[in-house]
Each structure stands twice: as structure tokens, then as C-alpha cells.
Amino acid sequence: MMELLFHAHKGIDFLGYAEKEHDIGFRVTELVHLKESTLLDAHFSLGEGFLGQVATTRQLGYWEHIDKDPRISFFIQNKLHPQTLFCYPIMNSDTLIGLLFGGSETETEIAEGLLHLGQAVAALIGVHITFQSLRSDRDTYYLRMSMLMEICKTLSVVKDIKRVLFILVDLSLNLVQGSFSCVIHKQAADKMNIVSRGMPRSQAEKYLKDISVRYAETATNRLDERAFEGAGLYIFEGFQTMEFPLMYGNTFYGVLSIAISTSNDFIEYKEFMQSLTIVASSAIDRIQGELSTSAWEAIELLHRSIQQWDPPAFMLSQLAREMIIDYSHVSELPASQSKLLEMAILLNAFDPQLLGSILKATPENAILIQLADEVRNIRVLLEGRSGRVEALSHSENSQIVALTLFYTEHLTSYSVEPPIIFRLELRESFAKFISKRQIVDMEMSIFEPILENRTEHGDLKQAIKALKLLSAREQDVISLVAEGRSNREIAEKLVISEHTVKNHMTSIFNKMGVTDRSHLIAMVYQLGYNAN
């Protein structure tokens, strides 16, 4: 097309096209000229000389008698000495994509009709480039959609989270062609790890620490929602990176980070990488759910076994379970952290070494066993069976579990102050939480005369019968509730329907002034329950 214009008019000695390379830079990518010149591949900037002026104004420019004009220095440096010059902006919608320019080294004035012909050719070039761009975009779109579908198929059957992370790292690095790619994976509420390609170990450690600080609040170890506004650009040690949070629902699983050359890479790859991270986050959540379900079933089974050989410990864990669920809700802890804390509560009666031999060897169970071991150490400190070593060195999760067990063991004296071995912010947080629960306990004060008359070694059923408000059947129901039985199990034991059990429970709640099973169990426990 440029050749057509060049040969169609005698007033043209040279004709070229400059392509926009970045925000302010242009490069001459095509040149038609009968003489030797170095103009091809030459660069100029926005506002520089005649061509830079047209790039700035985005309007047709033409000049005559310019042999002494200092603005032609760009051409003179590249062995061209124009007498006349014209330049057309090439647009794609509202975006400048290049410049069509030409002129004469012999004619001092632009020939009649040349500008109109050039305008038509410039328009055709713009249409051609736009069409090529659309076709290229279409091909790229179909290619990436095919890639995404293949990835979806692969990730739908992957059973290992680490495998998902490696797929993310390898695919993003090959697609973007950056210097490095990495995934920071949040394994637990207070632990992250990194999988990377092209990044030295020392740099990976620094980046992991940097991410941990930016995506978590130091004081509460809870995730900062401001960090999850979506993908963004970030500068790390001189490298420009694009970061994509791995989120599923309200659960945060980590961050995918890829080094890029320019911010244009972010614009080009943003949508595809966001789609990829959504698929990967879904896969991680599925795998995590499968692991959690399997682990949860084993933990529930272990917890139920306590009921047979240590009923008081079972009842204590039931009460602590209710408390930790309430605390997690009030404190707005992430679902994954809340579930981990609940698991630790249910297993508090077991030796950590025994748990290691029973539970399946997975990263999640390893974290749980480590947490159980820390809780055991803190409880040893509380009982004074160890030296003066503060619990401050232990994780926040272990201190939360230990504090929950501490307050559960002091059901009748919520005003007790927790030992100073716990972190100040946690002690204050629990104090506020307990003060709210204390109001509910105050509503039970109608039973204080009964509590005062309890016997130190009283039988559970005898203690329940002391509550003259309850019928014989209701006493049977409440005794089974205190043993940790479900409504279905109570119905089978008493040979009645579950609906009847629910009616009895409603009546018991009303008569005893409680609102849920945990407070009912707490009251029975206070009445003098003894395993013997």
C-alpha cells in the first residue's frame, strides 16, 4: 500500500511508517526510499521534531521550505534532507498506533492533490492495521480459551495442592515470559510458603516476608481485606510484578506474582491471569475441602471416643467447642482459622505424639499436631509443672485454644484473670468476649440455690432430679444431652421420635432459662456431674 502511494505521485522521494512502541516512543518500521538512509529502525519521542508534533496533536501536518528548519535534525542525522514533509496520524478507534510520513528532497512545495491521496492511503492503512489487530486478538483469544479449558480439565482431577501451585507458576512464566514467577501459598492462619521459578532462594525468602506483611495484619494475624481489591502492579527490588490474589468466596489461599517488562504486559495478560487464578483457587478449595472432610471425620471419631473413657474431658471439650465457635464468630476470624481452632479443641485430650501416629501424614495434619503440641506446652505452664517460660513464644492460635480451655474450666468464675503468660491483646480480646457471655450466665442465677445445695460427688441423674421443674422424661432427655448425645441418638435411646425430642428440648430450655445446648450442659456440669 505504501509502495502504491510512493509510485503514484512524483512529488514523493521517501515514504515511511513509524509504529508506536510505548507511551511516548516511536520506531520507524517501514521505509520506501530510492537512496541510502539509516532512517529504518530509528527512534523518536512524543513531541520531538515534526513527527513528534503530529503524534502530540494527532492532526495532519505538512510543511514546505523546511531545509533550514532545525526540526528536521532527526532526518538529517539519518541521511535525509527533506524540502517538504507531510505526516498523518494512524488511529485505531481513539488510540494512536502509528504515523505515516513522507516528503521530497527536491521539491520545495507539496504538489496539488498529494495531501488528499495521502489521507486516503493513511485511512486504508489504519483500517488494515485494525483488521490485523482484531484477527490477532481473535486468534489469541481462542488460543487462551483453549489453554484455559485444558487447565480446567487438569485441575479438576489434581489431588495435590502443591501440584496446582507448580502448574500456576510454570504456565504464567511461559505465557508472560517474565524473569520470574511465584505463588505464595497460605497453608494456615499463621504460615505461608512460596513456590517459584527464576527467583533465587534469598530473593524468594524476602518476597515471602514482604507478601506476609502486606497481606496480613501483624497484631491480629487476620487478613487485610484492602489487599483483596483485585489484581495490581507492585515493585519488588526493582522488578515490576503483577499480583493476583487467590481467593475462593471469602477464603484467601495466596498470591500469584509474575515479573513483567512493562505495564502494557499487565493490560494484555490481566483478564486471562484473573481467569486462571479463579480456576486455580477453586481447585485449591476443592482439594482443601476433601482433605478437611477426611481429617474432620477422623477427628470427630477420636473426639467421640473420649466420651467412653473420660466423660468429664468430653464434656469440657464440648463446652470449649461452643466457646471457640462463638469467639471465632465475634472476632470475625477466617473460616480456615476457625476450623483449625475447633479441631485443636476437640483433640486437646490426646497426646500430640499419639495424634501423629493416628492421623494421616498431610501438611494440614502436621500443622494441627504442631498446634496441639504448643497447646499442651502452654497448659503445662499454667499448671506450674514447668519452668518460667512464657507462652508468648507460641503461636497466636495455640494461645487462643489454651485461653478457651482456661475459661471453660472456670465456668463459675468468669471474672478470673488469665495469667500474664498470654499476649496482652489476646487477654483483652477474651475479656471483652467473656463479658458478653457472662450476661447469659447471670440469667441463670435463679438456680443458684440449687447449685449451693449440690454435693461434691453427686450423681448426674440425682443432680438433674434436683430440678423439680423438669418432668421425668425431660430429666431422661437432659441426662443424655449431658452425655453428648444428638437428638437422633436420644430418640433411639428413649424410643421416641426426633420431633418429640425437639419438643422436650424446647420445654427444658424454657424451664431452665437457657438458650442453647452448651449452656444447658454447663449448668448440668455445675450441678455436680461426676464420671463415677
- 4-30 per-position pLDDT tens digit: 666 666 778 899 999 998 778 999 999
In DSSP terms, 248 is beta-bridged to 251
Residue 410 neighbours by CB under 8 Å, 6+ apart: 416
Share of the chain above pLDDT 90, in %: 12
Question: Which pLDDT does position 209 carry in this prediction?
Answer: 86
Rounded (5°) CA angle 7-13-16? 85
d(CA 532, CA 529): 9
Is 111 a residue whose pLDDT tops 50? yes
Q: Would you call 465 helix, strand, or coil by DSSP? A: helix
Is 44 a residue whose pLDDT tops 90? yes
Is 387 a residue whose pLDDT tops 50? no
* Strand bridging mode 181-188 / 191-197: antiparallel
CA distances from 78 to 28, 37, 74 (A): 11, 6, 7
Is 210 a residue whose pLDDT tops 50? yes
Share of the chain above pLDDT 70, in %: 81
* Chain centroid offset of residue 171 CA: 19
What is the average pLDDT across 73-88? Answer: 92
Higher pLDDT, 29 or 310: 29
Is 464 a residue whose pLDDT tops 80? no
What is the average pLDDT across 283-305? Answer: 74
Q: Residue 66 — very low, low, confident or very high, per pLDDT cuts 50/70/90?
A: very high
What is the average pLDDT across 54-75? Answer: 92
The three three-digit cell numbers of residue 477, written as one number: 432427655
Least confident of 71-85, 103-117, 119-133, 218-232: 218-232
Is 227 a residue whose pLDDT tops 80? no
Least confident of 3-12, 202-211, 298-307, 318-327: 3-12
Q: Which of 114-123, 135-144, 406-415, 446-455 has the highest mean pLDDT?
A: 114-123
Question: Which pLDDT does position 179 carry in this prediction?
Answer: 86
What is the average pLDDT across 184-197? Answer: 79
What is the average pLDDT across 300-328? Answer: 81
Given a contact cutoff of 8 angstroms between Cβ atoms, the answer to whether 98 and 18 are in contact is yes
Question: Which pLDDT does position 52 carry in this prediction?
Answer: 93
Backbone angles phi, psi at 159, to 5 degrees: -110, -5
Q: Which of 131-140, 201-210, 243-252 has the highest mean pLDDT?
A: 201-210
What is the average pLDDT across 471-486? Answer: 83
- 408-446 per-position pLDDT tens digit: 877 655 556 777 778 888 888 888 887 776 544 344 444
Q: Residue 125 — very low, low, confident or very high, per pLDDT cuts 50/70/90?
A: confident
What is the average pLDDT across 284-310? Answer: 73
Higher pLDDT, 451 or 148: 148
Is 459 a residue whose pLDDT tops 80? no
What is the average pLDDT across 102-110? Answer: 90
Q: Residue 220 — very low, low, confident or very high, per pLDDT cuts 50/70/90?
A: very low
Rounded (5°) CA angle 430-434-436? 125
Residues of the chain with CATH 1.10.10.10: 446-526
The three three-digit cell numbers of residue 417, written as one number: 484473670
Q: Which of 42-56, 306-320, 376-390 has the highest mean pLDDT?
A: 42-56
What is the average pLDDT across 70-82? Answer: 91
What is the average pLDDT across 69-96? Answer: 91
Question: Which pLDDT does position 28 carry in this prediction?
Answer: 94
Alpha helices in 310-416, H assignment, sequence order:
311-330, 335-346, 352-358, 363-382, 396-408
Residue 433 neighbours by CB under 8 Å, 6+ apart: 326, 327, 330, 331
Q: Would you call 284 helix, strand, or coil by DSSP? A: helix
Other CB atoms within a 10 A radius of the CB of residue 225 amount to: 10
Q: What is the model's pTM?
A: 0.43
- 248-292 per-position pLDDT tens digit: 877 788 899 998 888 888 888 888 888 888 888 888 888 877 666
Other CB atoms within a 10 A radius of the CB of residue 528 amount to: 20
Q: Residue 457 — very low, low, confident or very high, per pLDDT cuts 50/70/90?
A: very low
Residues of the chain with CATH 3.30.450.40: 2-135, 159-288
In single-letter form, the type of residue at position 497 comes to S
Specify the DSSP element, H or E, that contains 244. Answer: strand 239-248
Given a contact cutoff of 8 angstroms between Cβ atoms, the answer to whether 497 and 505 are in contact is no
Question: Which pLDDT does position 519 carry in this prediction?
Answer: 73
Taking Cα atoms as reference points, which of 30, 26, 39, 20 lies closest to residue 82?
39
Question: Which pLDDT does position 382 carry in this prediction?
Answer: 77
Q: Would you call 496 helix, strand, or coil by DSSP? A: coil
Q: Residue 453 — very low, low, confident or very high, per pLDDT cuts 50/70/90?
A: very low
Is 160 a residue whose pLDDT tops 60? yes
The three three-digit cell numbers of residue 27, written as one number: 520506531
Right CATH number for 2-135 from 2.40.110.10, 3.40.50.1360, 3.40.50.300, 3.30.450.40?
A: 3.30.450.40
Question: Which pLDDT does position 316 carry in this prediction?
Answer: 83
Query: Which single residue is written with the C-alpha cell 421416641?
Result: 496
CATH node for 446-526: 1.10.10.10
d(CA 228, CA 364): 24
What is the average pLDDT across 129-140? Answer: 74
Task: Compute the mean pLDDT over every residue in the chain, rounded to the nearest whole number.
Answer: 79
Q: Residue 218 — very low, low, confident or very high, per pLDDT cuts 50/70/90?
A: very low
Q: What own/partner pairs with CB < 8 Å and gap ≥ 24 does 263-268 have?
A: 263/233, 264/22, 265/176, 265/178, 266/231, 266/233, 266/242
Question: Which pLDDT does position 444 carry in this prediction?
Answer: 43
Q: Which CATH architecture has domain 159-288?
A: 2-Layer Sandwich (3.30)
Max Cα–Cα distance, the chain, nearest Å: 119
In DSSP terms, 196 is beta-bridged to 182
Question: Which pLDDT does position 216 carry in this prediction?
Answer: 62
Taking Cα atoms as reference points, which of 187, 198, 202, 197 lies closest to residue 254?
187
